[in-house]
Chains A and B, each alone.
Chain A
């Protein structure tokens, strides 16, 4: 009975968190889908998003949700910059080159961030009330974060399927050479896709900052979660990432009811390796 109560309390929370994790993973998986690059600078960008919220809310008093707009915009620009400087030259090189190139960006951001902000934890003291549903309490910040994540997913979907640049992105993802022959400016589209990926990461970081404490190194664990989610939903499948996020969020809600919570990462990463082995295209990916 106690376990059921615990589950009732933790599953809705897990679902809400799952949407936000899914948003972060969507950024990773979008970049992978378009250019076959795993962005190892994903974690630091999430952390930058967190600090974006922190500085705007704590120093300037801007509402965290209004602050999402500048965070998203800066995230887009940072991504385009990273693509131009670090990724473009190695886009056709073996995987090791692009992995190390994005990792060097990771080191640069973490190095500067550590020097400027230290690695001590920060938190944003923001509350959006809570809702009582029977015996469970839903925090307002998490509820809004999940809604924003859904909004961004819908926005991404509309962008990819209803606008011209979105169609270009899908064309480049499908076959870059053919897209170029059709007159698609592939370099600009690749830069835009990378920017969108980092934008989603920064926004998810900004949302996470409203309910969890964080440091400049905090992005690392969300980056690892994004890998797990990306693989669950199928790398390169942004909508699958949202479902992957939900699965991970629910798992994080369920496991502590039966095992000690320190077993959560064992199961997560075990599942991750297992899915890579038996279904590398993900649970929702098409069979190749």
Chain B
């Protein structure tokens, strides 16, 4: 009982992800499954970004670089080296983690907008490099051989399996985010967010802590990349490093509430839901980007703490439940 009282914060996010996983299973419609997959992917990516953005306070505009890079490594091993999907997923996560470690040691010395600019530069440099990298297929990328799916019980079954792996990754991202948040390490990150110099004085080894936060926020995106491009059947530079997807992730985290466990999940669901509505609605479909822009502007200007931050501030009751 005591344990539950201490960890009520994970309950709501956990239920949300489980409900999202069960919804297509219960309704049994492939269309619902695809929608749920998109939502779970957004949840996994936004929760990961939150470790860096929300807890540590570093704004990464190029976080999608880990998704693309991990995806490329995984798909390369899967097609050219004949690795299994499971090993490729692990390899994608590890590759992104290593990339984050190396990059982080260098660019996390920059603060504020300089860091944000550097992440944009890294993403663009990586995209341009992969475009020229013959091992990864250059501008045409890598296409999966259709027979790969046979190992996983045919294409239809492979889609089903991918969905459950996606749900597993979202769950993993959520638990990782919660563990970081409730640990002493996470407390160090929050201290860095509030005042990096003061945190160092209080005994937080900021460079080390920041680098690990970066690594933790990169692993899941790498794995999600492998899974997504496996499901997609091919990977090319243009799809792997879309700068606007990075920014969409920032919007999701902002929308739900940065620095909270449930915030990015709520933000991901709300953003994707809204986007789905705008793209299909006859009035807004042509200007859906503008409508999203107006909404984003309103949030940034008037509720910068996001939905969860606002709720926690207004209603103390929620503080225990919404971590």
Contacts and interface: CB of A to CB of B under 8 A. Distances in A.
B294 interface: yes
Q: For this complex, into which size category does the number of interface residues on chain B fall?
A: 35 or more
B297 A277 contact: no
20 contacts: A38-B113, A38-B117, A96-B250, A100-B250, A103-B247, A103-B296, A104-B294, A107-B289, A108-B290, A108-B294, A110-B289, A227-B121, A260-B132, A262-B131, A265-B125, A270-B125, A272-B121, A273-B118, A276-B110, A280-B114
Contacts of B289: 107-108, 110-111, 114
B79 interface: no
Interface string B119-148: 011101101110110000001000000000
A277 B118 contact: yes
B118 A104 contact: no
A184 B167 CA distance: 57
Contact of A277 (B61, B110, B139): B110
A263 interface: yes
B128 A99 contact: no
A95 B116 CA distance: 9
B301 A86 contact: yes
Contacts, number: 124
A36 B112 CA distance: 10
**Could you say which of B251, B258, B301 has the most chain A C-beta atoms within 10 Å of its C-beta?**
B301
B236 to A, nearest CB: 14
A112 interface: yes
Interface string B277-296: 00000000011111111101
A268 B288 CA distance: 33
Interface residues of A, number: 44
Nearest to A280: B114
Chain A contact residues: over half helix, strand or loop, or mixed?
helix
A265 B293 contact: no
Contacts of A115: 286-287, 290
A111 B114 contact: no
A262 B117 contact: no
A86 B296 CA distance: 11
B53 interface: yes
Interface string A68-100: 000000000000000001100110011111011
A11 B247 CA distance: 36
A24 interface: no
Contact of A265 (B61, B110, B124): B124
Contacts of A103: 247, 296
Nearest to A38: B113
Contact of A99 (B109, B116, B287, B290): B116
B287 A112 contact: yes
A97 B293 CA distance: 14
Contacts of B20: none
A266 B129 contact: yes
